Amino acid sequence: MIRSHVLLCGGTGCTSSGSGKIQAALEAELKAKGLEEEVKIVVTGCFGLCAVGPIMIVYPEGTFYSMVQESDVAEIVEEHLLKGRPVERLIYAEHHDAIEEKVTSLADTTFYKKQKRVALRNCGYINPEVIDEYIAMDGYQALGKVLTEMTPDDVIKCILDSGLRGRGGGGFPTGRKWMFAQAQPQGKKYVVCNADEGDPGAFMDRSILEGDPHAVLEAMAIAGYAIGADEGYIYVRAEYPIAIHRLEVAIAQAREYGLLGKDIFGTGFNFDIQLRFGAGAFVCGEETALLTSIEGNRGEPRPRPPFPAVKGLFGKPTIINNVETYANITQIILNGPEWFASMGTEKSKGTKVFALGGKITNTGLVEIPMGTTLREVVEEIGGGIPNGKKFKAAQTGGPSGGCIPESLYDTPIDYDSLIAIGSMMGSGGLIVMDEDTCMVDIARFFLDFTVDESCGKCTPCRVGTRRLLEILDKIIAGNGTLEDIDKLEELCYYIKSASLCGLGQTAPNPVLSTLKYFRHEYEAHVVDKKCPAGVCKDLLSYIVIEDKCKGCTACARVCPVGAISGAVKQPHVIDTAKCIKCGACIEKCKFNAIVKQ
Amino acid sequence: MKKKLTTVMFRGTKAQEEQLIAVIEKYRDTEGAMMPVLQEAQEIYGYLPIEVQKIIAQRMDVSLEEVYGVASFYSQFSLNPKGEVAIAVCLGTACYVKGAGDIIDRISLKLGGLAAGDTSPDGKYSLEATRCIGACGLAPVLTVNGEVYGRLVKEDVDGILDKYM
Ligand SMILES: Cc1cc2nc3c(=O)[nH]c(=O)nc-3n(C[C@H](O)[C@H](O)[C@H](O)COP(=O)(O)O)c2cc1C
Ligand code: SF4
Ligand code: SF4
Ligand code: SF4
Ligand code: FES
Ligand code: FES
């Protein structure tokens, strides 16, 4: 008899922080105590609170343990699983105004309370490598319903009525896309899933694939039925080994159960799915480049029209949707389009998954109803900014998006509101920045990325982004002028209008939005030759405050280039010409005698 | 995308070549086979030197330019062998905002100025700046020979590297 379930997170975050070792230790310990028949280990996908991983939840109590170490396993087994006494010190605690509060159950955390889990419904609840667990959560019911009770037109109408828009960044209505592909003459058609997730710092799609792969497979089969396709491809990044493994397992199990392959549910409908691996080119997330890459070529975008719905993979009509878009489909079919449309705002229905990162307490994965404000996401769900620092900006949309300043903290998160303030929804990366982040440096960071990732096919993007980067470098080095700022802006508009694909058309956004909201920081770099956030090295110098220095020599010993001199018990001096600004001396000085300014 | 070419001598074995040929055969009838072949070739050799690209071009009956064109386009394909101690620092946005830049500087300094993208002349160390490895919740992160180290502060660097020195 199983009397306890131990859910252990096997997402990439927790795997990196050691959940594999915990699993092994747990198995051994349960065996040693003869509990194998009573306690079942369920390795799940990401719970969302990766910041405090590895995470373990013990049911039926629902006890939520965080930052579990291999060495804690024996105690958990002995105390909790054997004697029924939860291990207090490992229970997750929330900090409210410096008061620590233990939160026993995951569902009671502030992190979870404001969330609404649709696309992530199974992540962290089921073992993604066991198809029966998915089926137990109504898995493959939507496919059954579609194949036996609905016509392809019904399916498309249902998706149209739900108001679902693409979650990969563009926000195109999914039902419309399917309708175009369905309207093409019968014959070979394809269903493609975009799992290339190129925005660095975002991991929504990966977590869905790792935590609930069947949800995507089932939705792709539904899409196949709707548009008349019998073959699907998932283009997934090769850098996602766990996601790839779980997809392979899921596809094999679905085939074994007759849920993929020939004559599904005895209805005569055939559909199968293959995997293709991306190889780390951001531009391959762009749909036409992705198709070119599946065909085995350099992933260069092609001009649209023709749109993939008309002429896509191998020249055939193709729909291409994002992972999270697919993850919503089965729920829309089962609960009805009205249910879905009841969540969110007028033009942005449903929920959106975000990967919270940067200077925020609860880094991890959240799913919120569209229209939730940025402030709620950062301050409540995200637990605010750590170390008592102040919020400066949030960045959404990755290298194609923009920064949102504090003055717009109450902006509702939906497609149109974000575009209106010069950012974009993007695929779901949400990076929080505090007062220690330099906005010019961040703009430079993204431009460095796009210069590297530009495929080089068209000149405005290839040459233009490089010019932008050069100007930013000049500003950061303290050699910029006010004219450079104007030139920067002008060039941005040119690149936006003249580039061939979305990469080039959006590449200037990080510069434009920081210029719009943080122009004073640019001006400080060029006029005062100062970096207000204290980041840009060329504009800083390290100096010893004579009065505070005790002459302990600690700094001189740690300096890697011998830039510090001074006799014992005498004030030391830094030779700014030699100093490489590594910061090692500041860390070493116990008397706070070294400052950068 | 800019890629550096290696100066390290190619040391492929006969057995590796046979494995590679088997891979090419496996994908003989697959549409768009170039990417999977290159991916598996990189698993066999650890990188894709020109010698390997030549075998692929010849066996798949395409030009070397075409193979090189694809291999150099994607950042996952490495034309350089990795060091015995292969260090990769994530410079994705989440890690960058949390100070990954300082971490890579510190490692570079510690390895005698080894730049990102380079392998030390003795083949012992390689340093790479990667894009998000998906452990953003633990940012900033680095990996050494695949082992992940997260929630780093730059003072952790010395301790981690010392384990491999
Ligand atoms: C440079 C660039 C990168 C993109 N990267 C991604 C990506 O990583 N994942 C994704 O789903 N869509 C990405 N897109 C959007 C796709 O082109 C496409 O719109 C999307 O996959 C369509 O699916 P959806 O309608 O379900 O969102 C990218 C677009 C551009 C221009
Ligand atoms: S805009 Fe940039 S990425 Fe897109 S086709 Fe032109 S060069 Fe390539
Ligand atoms: S570590 Fe601080 S107190 Fe000691 S010599 Fe250096 S500056 Fe002076
Ligand atoms: S910042 Fe680094 S290089 Fe400069 S004085 Fe301090 S320890 Fe030396
Ligand atoms: S990976 Fe474990 S909580 Fe996200
Ligand atoms: S940005 Fe570094 S792991 Fe994601």
Assess if residue A53 is contained within a domain.
yes
pLDDT band at A497 (very low <50, low <70, confident <90, very high): very high
Q: Would B117 be classed as within a structural domain?
A: yes
pLDDT of residue B3: 58
Does one domain contain both B90 and B153?
Answer: yes
Q: Does A517 map to a domain? A: yes
Cβ atoms within 10 Å of A96's Cβ, excluding its own? 10
In this prediction, residue B5 carries a pLDDT of 61
B154 touches chain A (CB under 8 A): yes
**Has residue A165 been placed in a domain?**
yes
Structure confidence at residue A108 (pLDDT): 85
Residue A507: both structure tokens together: 């590449």
Among candidate residues B22, B44, B73, the one where a domain is terminated: B73
| Residue B136 near residue A363, CB atoms below 8 Å | yes
Instruction: Report CA-CA distances (Å) from A583 to A266, A534, A586, B127.
Output: 68, 12, 6, 21
Residue A122 domain flag: no
Tell me the ligand closest to A300's alpha carbon. 2
Q: Which ligand is nearest to the CA of A358?
A: 6
Do A293 and A197 lie in a common domain? yes
Mean pLDDT, range A81-98, rounded to an integer: 87
Query: B78 in a domain, yes or no?
Result: no
Tell me the per-residue pLDDT of A426-449, one tens digit each, with 9 for 90 and over.
Answer: 999 999 999 999 999 999 999 999
* pLDDT tens digits, one per residue of B113-155: 899 888 888 889 999 998 888 889 899 999 999 889 999 998 8
Residues A428 and A446 in one domain: no
Asked if residue B4 is part of any domain, the answer here is no
Contacts of B114 (CB under 8 A, 6+ apart): B107, B108, B120, B125, B127
Nearest chain A CA: its distance from B149 CA (Å) = 7
Question: In this structure, what DSSP letter does residue A185 have?
Answer: P
Residue with tokens 């956004």: A509
Tokens describing residue B27: 């994908």
In this prediction the pTM is: 0.92
User: Do A446 and A499 sit in the same domain of this protein?
Assistant: yes
- Domain boundary (A290, A311, A341) is at A341
Under a CB-based contact definition with an 8 Å cutoff, are residues A406 and A417 in contact? no
Residue A120 belongs to some domain of the structure: no
User: A80 with A63: CB under 8 angstroms?
Assistant: yes
Domain membership flag for residue B6: no
Domain shared by B127 and B68, yes or no: no
Q: Given a cut of 60, is residue B1 above it in pLDDT?
A: no
Residues B19 and B52 placed together within one structural domain of the fold:
yes
Query: A168 to chain B, minimum CA–CA distance in Å?
Result: 17
- Give the least confident one: A15-24, A125-134, A398-407, B118-127: B118-127
How many residues does the structure list for chain B?
165
| Ligand 5 neighbourhood includes A43 CB (under 6 angstroms) | no
pLDDT, tens digit (0-9, with 9 covering 90-100), for A298-349: 899 998 899 999 999 999 999 999 999 999 999 999 999 999 999 999 999 9
CATH of the domain at A408: 3.10.20.600
The domain tally of chain B equals 2
Is A536 inside any structural domain? no
Same domain flag for B60 and B89: no
Same domain for A497 and A412, yes or no, is no
Sign of CA dihedral B134, A364, A351, A423: negative
One domain, residues A337 and A358: no
Q: Is residue B50 part of a domain?
A: yes
Indicate whether B89 and B142 sit together in one domain: yes
Asked if ipTM goes beyond 0.90, one says no
Determine the atom of ligand 1 nearest the C-alpha atom of A503.
1
Domain shared by A205 and A325, yes or no: yes
Distance A9 CA to ligand 5 centre (A): 6
Tell me: do B155 and B89 sit in the same domain. yes
Is residue B148 located within the same domain as residue B107? Answer: yes
The verdict on B34 touching A (C-beta cutoff 8 Å) is: yes
- Residues 6 or more apart whose CB falls under 8 angstroms from that of A215 comprise A119, A122, A134, A139, A208, A326, A327, A330
Tell me, what CATH number does A89's domain have?
Answer: 3.40.30.10
Asked whether B95 and A429 are in contact (CB, 8 A), the reply is: no
Q: How far is it, in rounded angstroms, from Cα A207 to Cα A427? A: 13
Do residues A60 and A147 both lie within one domain?
Answer: no
Task: Provide the domain limits for residue A508.
Answer: 439-528
Query: Is residue A368 exposed (0-12), middle (13-18) or buried (19+ Cβ within 10 Å)?
Result: buried
Task: For residue B104, give the CATH number of its domain.
Answer: 3.40.30.10
Residue B102 sits at the chain A interface (C-beta within 8 Å): yes
B8: confidence class by pLDDT, cuts 50, 70, 90: low
Residue A78 sits in the same domain as residue A199:
no
Same domain, A309 and A221: yes
Final residue belonging to a domain, choices A378, A402, A434 = A434
Report whether A120 contacts A353 (CB < 8 A): yes
Decide: A361 and A51 in contact? Cβ < 8 Å: yes
Query: Quick one: A158 and A173 in the same domain?
Result: yes
Q: Is B60 on the interface with A (CB under 8 A)?
A: no
Residues of B in contact with A55 (CB under 8 A): none
**Residue B100: which pLDDT band, with cuts at 50, 70 and 90?**
very high
- Asked if residue B142 and residue B92 are part of one domain, the reply reads yes
In the block, residue with structure tokens 């200077």: A359
8 Å CB contact of A455 and B73: yes
Q: Is residue B5 part of a domain?
A: no
Is residue A308 left, alpha or beta, with left meaning phi > 0 and alpha meaning psi from -120 to 50?
A: alpha
* A76 and A204, same domain (yes or no): no
Put simply, the answer to whether A200 touches B132 (Cβ < 8 Å) is yes
Percent of chain A at pLDDT exceeding 70: 100
Number of domains in chain A: 5
- In this prediction, residue A21 carries a pLDDT of 95
* pLDDT value for A475: 97
One domain, residues B99 and B49: no
- Nearest-Cα distance to chain A for B146, in Å, is 10
Contacts of B120 (CB under 8 A, 6+ apart): B83, B111, B112, B114, B126
Judgement on whether residues A323 and A459 belong to the same structural domain of the protein? no
Instruction: Write phi, then psi, for B77 (nearest 5 degrees).
Output: -80, 125
DSSP helix, strand, coil percent of chain B (3-state; round to 5): 45, 10, 45
Tell me whether residue B134 is in a domain. yes
Closest ligand by atom to A550 CA: 3
Q: Does residue A281 form part of some domain?
A: yes
User: Whole-angstrom Cα distance, residue A457 to residue A286?
Assistant: 14
Judge if B64 and B99 occupy the same domain.
no
Please indicate, yes or no, if residue B64 is contained in any of the structural domains.
yes
Per-residue pLDDT reduced to its tens digit, A16-70: 999 999 999 999 999 999 999 999 999 999 999 998 989 999 999 889 999 999 9
Closest residue, chain A, to B106 (C-alpha): A582
More confident residue, A597 or A25: A25
**Cβ contact A551:A577 at 8 Å:** no
Nearest residue to A290 (alpha-carbon basis) of B139, B35, B53, B94: B35
Mean pLDDT of A97-107: 77
Where residue A450 sits, what CATH number does that domain have? Answer: 1.20.1440.230
Closest residue to atom 4 of ligand 2, CA basis: A501
Distances (CA, A) of B155 to A449, B53, B89, B140: 27, 41, 15, 13
Which residue's alpha carbon is nearest to atom 10 within ligand 1?
Answer: A168
Structural domain of B22:
14-73
Among left, alpha and beta (phi > 0; psi -120 to 50; other), residue B143 is beta
Structural domain ending residue among the three candidates A341, A360, A380: A341
Is the pLDDT at A258 greater than 90? The verdict is yes
Shared domain check, B51 and B27: yes
Shared domain check, B130 and B69: no
Looking at chain A, how many residues does it have?
597
Q: Which of B26, B44, B73 is the last residue of a domain?
A: B73
Q: What is the mean pLDDT of residues A404-422?
A: 95
SS3 A505: helix
CA of A390 to the centre of ligand 3 (A): 30
Q: Is residue A199 part of a domain?
A: yes
Local confidence band at B6 (pLDDT 50, 70, 90 cut-offs) = low
